Amino acid sequence: MADTQLTQYFVAASMDGFIATENDDLSWLLQFEGVDEAQDANPYDAFISDVGALAMGATTYEWILAHDDGPWAYGDRPTWVFTHRQLPSVEGAVLRFTQDDVATVHGRMLAESSGRNVWVVGGGELAGQFLDAGLLDEIWLTVTPVTLGQGAPLLPRRHTTPMTLVSALPAPNGTFVHLRYRLR
Amino acid sequence: MADTQLTQYFVAASMDGFIATENDDLSWLLQFEGVDEAQDANPYDAFISDVGALAMGATTYEWILAHDDGPWAYGDRPTWVFTHRQLPSVEGAVLRFTQDDVATVHGRMLAESSGRNVWVVGGGELAGQFLDAGLLDEIWLTVTPVTLGQGAPLLPRRHTTPMTLVSALPAPNGTFVHLRYRLR
């Protein structure tokens, strides 16, 4: 099974490559909430059903804590949070706070994901560390029809070896386009 | 005719929103030269045939001077170069060096473009000035399957009013995707 497990950075960004404003504001993205899903154009449901483990940075985790009102959205999938700080837990979540490097953690993730894929949730710096270690198989990028001008970068790395565009699925309502790239 | 004239920012960027490196290097983009065109997937030919006038900043103009070996690529279309410096001319080009603001120049461009469209070639700051003035009708963005991490920004503005995605055309060889957005 291990050969078919993919490590995927699934993320939404402004068309100029930011995943949040400098204040971690996502209202530019959340203004579209429900619009895309209603048309069955969003690949998230199909994507998440193949995910067995998650990785995220402390900022991403804290954003979820502060903004997600409902139950933990990722079920019993083990979730590694890369942090050097003490962070609160979430009821119902299977959390692994870690200070280890991504290569070490990635081995554990593959072993504990029931043969399914690994989702690098973000942020960009954590995704960059997976890229640096040669561990990133795919990027799923939802391009949002706005610009931010500055903020948290999508992937703060120079990677000019061409990735392969696997698919480009525009939402029928003229909002998002969902791009899927293969890196190796 | 004036009502049907569009002002369009047609540009290629890395998937993280840069149009050049910090040293104005385009080798990350030029590595694809010929690959896309050979498959008739690139919209440039159809786009340029509807263009009657061009606008570009001094850096873009100087890049063309330094790198384009052949004849001036834009025929007899009048081309406004926004600059505060003295710059050399190019044989065969119809050039208008200007220090005026974009709104003033835009009026002249519409009048001298034979009823055809206005192309804002770049860079990002000049496109931003057209956006600020409410003059930009469309963005044609070719997303390149690489990341740069830093460099010259695509559009250094915060514009969170949703644009409308008109089309998303992937190149069949898994390289570019050509996105067309309407702003108004």
pLDDT score at B36 = 59
Question: In sequence order, which ranges of A37-173 are alpha helices (DSSP H)?
Answer: 44-49, 58-67, 102-111, 124-132
Task: Indicate whether B3 pLDDT > 60.
Answer: no
Are residues A170 and B167, on separate chains, in Cβ contact within 8 Å? yes
Q: Assign B155 a pLDDT band (cuts: 50, 70, 90).
A: very high
pLDDT score at B1 = 41
Are residues A16 and B174, on separate chains, in Cβ contact within 8 Å? no
Q: Assign A33 a pLDDT band (cuts: 50, 70, 90).
A: confident
Task: Indicate whether A54 pLDDT > 90.
Answer: yes
Note whether B20 contacts A: Cβ–Cβ < 8 A. Answer: no
Of the residues A163, A165, A178, the best mutation for testing chain B's interface (the one with the most B CB atoms within 10 Å of its CB) is: A165
Q: What is the mean pLDDT of residues A157-174?
A: 96
- Among A29-43, A125-139, A163-177, B113-127, name the one with the lowest average pLDDT: A29-43
Note whether B175 contacts A: Cβ–Cβ < 8 A. Answer: yes
Task: Determine if the peptide bond prior to B123 is cis (ω within 30°).
Answer: yes
ipTM of the complex: 0.94
Are residues B170 and A168, on separate chains, in Cβ contact within 8 Å? yes
Alpha carbons A68 and A73: distance in angstroms, whole number: 8
B159: which chain A residues are within 8 Å (Cβ-Cβ)? Answer: 146-147, 149
pLDDT score at A2 = 44
Highest mean pLDDT among A24-38, A94-108, B65-79: A94-108
- The residue of chain B with its CA nearest to that of A17 is B16
Smallest Cβ–Cβ distance between B147 and the set A27, A148, A157 belongs to A157
pLDDT score at A83 = 98
Are residues B153 and A181, on separate chains, in Cβ contact within 8 Å? no
Task: Indicate whether A36 pLDDT > 90.
Answer: no
Query: How are beta strands A79-82 and A51-57 bridged, if at all?
Result: parallel
pLDDT score at A1 = 41
Task: Indicate whether A39 pLDDT > 80.
Answer: no
Alpha carbons A135 and A125: distance in angstroms, whole number: 14
**What residue has token string 């080009």?**
B93
pLDDT score at A37 = 58
pLDDT score at A184 = 86
Task: Indicate whether B147 pLDDT > 90.
Answer: yes
What is the pLDDT of chain A when averaged over all its residues?
A: 94
Nearest to A87 by CA among A108, A105, A61: A61
Q: Assign B144 a pLDDT band (cuts: 50, 70, 90).
A: very high
Q: What is the mean pLDDT of residues B45-59?
A: 97
Q: What is the mean pLDDT of residues B34-42?
A: 67
pLDDT per position as a tens digit, B63-110? 999 988 889 999 999 999 999 999 999 999 999 999 999 999 999 999
